[in-house]
Amino acid sequence: MISSLRTGDPDVFAMVSREGQRQNENIELIASANFVSRTVLEATGSLLTNKVAEGYPGRRYFSGCEYIDEIENLAIARAKKLFGATYVNIEPYSGSQANQAVYLSVLKPGDRLLSMDLVHGGHLSHGAKATMTGKNYDCHFYHVNPETERLDYDTKALGEVLSLGTEPGIDPKQLTKMIQAGSGSSWVAEKLLPSILEGNPGPAFALNLAYKDTCLVDELNKTFKTSLEFSDV
């Protein structure tokens, strides 16, 4: 494939080569910028890129998707086994898209979302004003104490989590509908928020731990310590 690119488009080939050199000579310190195997490169650069397969397996909007369906169903089955999940959607190609799918499935426009502040370790797609999440939902944020780097339970935003709207007289529109925890850069809420939410049927609890969960795979026995045991999504 690379040899075809070399002759078919020398300019792009040169840019790809320089990017390869950059990757080999630098250390990437972000989990989403990992190095895929040759197997993954071969699959993602295969003739599958020729096929449009909008929709889900067995319910496509285009014909000729029978083999695409087989591949997607296999990926779903593997992910369900690995994560111990009942349902899996493997179509989002980034964490931001996956988060949007979660929000659309649980929230309505204007609903209140509580997540970690971006500058305290949250993720851009968890409610920053510049994103679709920040524009579509009523986003509030909790923070960490700059000295302890742990959740600051004295903040007003986290006070909303602690009350969860259980006091009489609270406007239902002001209730938090979802609490978002975890991201690629901060996991401090992973153990604390589940204990707060235990036994309370109020807000949904979404845990964005794609990076960390990937690191928890035990290479010896291929078992997985899944975070789905204490989160809704």
Domain map (residue ranges) of the chain: 2-83, 107-224
The answer to whether residue 152 scores a pLDDT higher than 80 is no
Exposure pattern of 18-51 as b/e (b: 16+ CB <10 Å)? eeeeeeeeeeeeeeeeeeeeeeeeeeeeeeeeee
pLDDT digits (tens, 9 = 90+) for 154-191: 555 555 555 544 444 555 556 778 888 765 434 444 54
Mean pLDDT of the 18-35 span? 85
Q: How deeply is 202 buried, as exposed, middle or buried, from its count of CB atoms within 10 A (0-12, 13-18, 19+)?
A: middle
Mean pLDDT, residues 147-160: 63
Neighbouring CB atoms inside 10 A of 72's CB total: 18
Under 8 Å between Cβ of 207 and 190: yes
Q: What is the pLDDT, as a whole number, of residue 77?
A: 96
- Share the mean pLDDT of the chain: 77
% of the chain at pLDDT higher than 70: 69
Label residue 46 by pLDDT band (50, 70, 90). Answer: very high
Q: In whole angstroms, what is the distance from residue 20 CA to residue 29 CA?
A: 17
Quickly state the pLDDT bin for 223 (edges 50, 70, 90): very low
Residue 30 or residue 19, greater confidence = 19
pLDDT at 200: 53
Q: Which amino acid is at 131?
A: T
In whole angstroms, what is the distance from residue 221 CA to residue 233 CA?
25
Q: What pLDDT, on the 0 to 100 scale, is given for residue 188?
A: 44
51, 155, 164, 204 from 177: Cα distances, Å: 38, 19, 9, 6
Residue among 188, 29, 31, 210 nearest 116 (CA): 188
